Amino acid sequence: MAVLPIYVSAQVQFVSRAEVPSEWDDRDYLVLPTQDGTIAFRVKAKKGFSLEQRLQYFFTDRELRGTQVYEVPVKDYFDLIGFDLDDEYLYTLFQKGESYSNEKIVYEINLTNHQVREVKLDNILEMELQEFLIMDKKAILMGMMDYRPAIQLLDTETGSVLTVQGVYANEVSILQLRKDPELKVFDVLVSKRDRYKQRSLSIMTFDMEGNKLREVKVEPENRPDLEIVEGILTPMDDYSQVLIGPYGQRKRDPNMGVYFSRINEFGEYENKFLTLADFQHFYNYLPEKQKERRERKLARDIEKERDLVLPNTLVTREIVAGKNYFLVYNDYYLTSSGRFSPRDMMYSSDFYRYAPLSMRNRVVPGGYPWYYPGTDVMSNNEYKFMAAQFLLLDREGKLLWDNSLSLEDVTTTNPGKYGEVSFDGSNLYYLYLDDTKLQLSYLHNGEIELENEEVDLVLIDEDERIKDTQGESLSLSWWYKDYFLLSGKQRIRYLSESGKEEIREVFFMTKIRADASLMKEDEEAQ
């Protein structure tokens, strides 16, 4: 897995590549970023009729120079259902069979000396696990029991278990669980419905002993006609946080725009609401004539002071927090389940319903690496993705610019996040997979410079050729700065030392760089 020469395409650089042998039917490696590079791991059964299976893993640095593949024996009949990194340790959670009450085991792997410790999960609740996080050698287990959410903390060294109080209740859904290793706390973002059927968001912060440090209830103050039901919580910054997401009218239209709530250290907050009237370039994803027609109608609605409603579903997928800004990435789509996504205990952005444990932030366009029991809640639905919308807000929630990129009405059964974003304050690169090709868009200071430019997958070694790419294995993620990481399985055609054509099957990782200067060089060359 040596570093090979850089190959430059018209819009992106394929910087470096790592490969390990992998058969076409093998499970894919899951790739996680580390401080120094990546770690990739998977479960693989031994050949033949043996049921014996092993957890395989290897590392790379940021240039994708890799290590050998290490192996850890794991118990037969157990499936990998969760994972997390904590400092120099990889934790993998296995469950025997599909029943929530079945035996569970955590393997703690020291990534420095490769020592393995087995931790049995005894005395935990019989719940449908939806999240597994590790912090300071304590496991945070979140799931559903009797249609109510529950959170338990397991000390992996002593085996002691405690149940976090204040979470298990009727009419509550957990939307986000976020650990903060610096402050040694974790946040739980929940949606609650009171006895009057009104919904609100609450942010609960706990320490690792299960003590509730604070609870902030976020409501559209002075606007009883509005309802806030979803959102994404940013990390703490000087003990303040920001919550951003879609909002709507109570019992009527769930999609009216985006709210911004800045919460200070005392739990005080102020909401700002952005509507279609604020989004000057919302309809940029449409062909010119359709765009002009929609904008004329919008101008009439504003003039007549009508309620401004988004006709389809807007979902906040990601917030990039800079020193003095927040970039908000929303997907805009139409779902076959009806005009709007249902709002009562069902949420458009609730990845916990679709993604395996610890996968909610690593959703891949081509489908998830695997499914866990309970993911078929809305499996019959189709989603037509129309646009990726971007908002740049200042620290107080003032809109600096907005724009929308066409997603060309691609229809999929996958409701998850559609693309990946790199943003440095001025340059925004948006990259997504379309079958076995990449699509690249580029915005500079909010202006679209490039939209849906198709990029073929290439090898860095020009003497080799791609014979096949397994589309469903491909996974794309933003890595760091303006670098993205693409992984999956391929068959590679090459010449052996004897000059005979050979084919090898591999799992690969490719480091990809999007760079505006490359686009300028390409324009000048033309």
Per-residue pLDDT, 74: 92
Residue 410's identity, in one-letter code, is V
301 φ/ψ angles, rounded to the nearest 5 degrees = -65, -40
Flag whether pLDDT at 360 surpasses 70: no
* Residue 49 DSSP symbol: T
Return the pLDDT at 526.
54
**Is residue 376 scored above 50 in pLDDT?**
no
Question: Residues with Cβ < 8 Å from 157, sequence gap 6 or more?
Answer: 137
Looking at residue 337, its pLDDT comes to 61
pLDDT digits (tens, 9 = 90+) for 154-171: 999 999 999 999 999 888
Q: What is the mean pLDDT of residues 512-520?
A: 78
CA distance 88 to 428: 32
What is the band of 413 on the pLDDT scale with cuts at 50, 70, 90? confident
Would you say residue 358 has pLDDT above 50?
no
425-429 mean pLDDT: 96
pLDDT band at 50 (very low <50, low <70, confident <90, very high): low
**Is the pLDDT assigned to residue 51 strictly greater than 70?**
no
- Residue of 56, 175, 42, 130 whose CA lies nearest to 372: 130
∠ CA(215), CA(216), CA(217), 5° rounding?
Answer: 120
Which residues pair with residue 519 across a beta bridge? none
- What is the per-residue pLDDT for 520? 56
- Beta partners for 144? 128, 149
> What pLDDT score does 488 carry?
94
Predicted pLDDT of residue 2: 43
- Reply yes or no on whether the pLDDT at 373 is more than 90: no
Confidence of residue 502 (pLDDT cuts 50, 70, 90): very high
Contact present, 245 and 349 (Cβ < 8 Å):
yes
How large is the average pLDDT for residues 20-29?
A: 93
CA distances (Å), origin 273, targets 6, 245, 299 = 46, 10, 19
Q: Which pLDDT score, from 0 to 100, does residue 7 have?
A: 54
What is the per-residue pLDDT for 259?
96
> 309-323, 399-413, 443-457: which range is least confident on average?
309-323
What is the structure's pLDDT at 523? Answer: 54
As a whole number, the mean pLDDT across the chain is 86
> What is the pLDDT, as a whole number, of residue 129?
85
Q: Strands 447-456 and 104-110, how do they pair?
A: unpaired
Q: What is the DSSP letter of 237?
A: B
Tens of pLDDT, residues 428-484: 999 999 999 999 999 999 999 999 999 999 999 989 999 999 998 999 999 999 999
- Buried b / exposed e across 114-126, counting CB within 10 Å, b at 16+? eeeeebebeebbe
Query: Which H helix or E strand runs over 524?
Result: helix 516-525
What does the pLDDT read at residue 97? 81
Reduced 3-state DSSP string for 329-398: EEEEEEECCCCCCCCCCCCCCCHHHCCCCCCCCCCCCCCCCCCCCCCCCCCCCCEEEEEEEEEEEECCCC
Query: 30 or 48, which is more confident?
Result: 30
The pLDDT of residue 147 is: 87
**pLDDT cut 90: percent of the chain above it:** 62
Residue 10 banded pLDDT, cuts 50, 70, 90: low
Q: What is the pLDDT of residue 49?
A: 57
| The two three-digit tokens of residue 209, written as one number | 């002993």
pLDDT at residue 495 in the model? 94
* The pLDDT value given to residue 369: 36
- Is the pLDDT score of 370 beyond 50? no
Reported confidence tier of residue 268, pLDDT bands at 50, 70, 90: very high
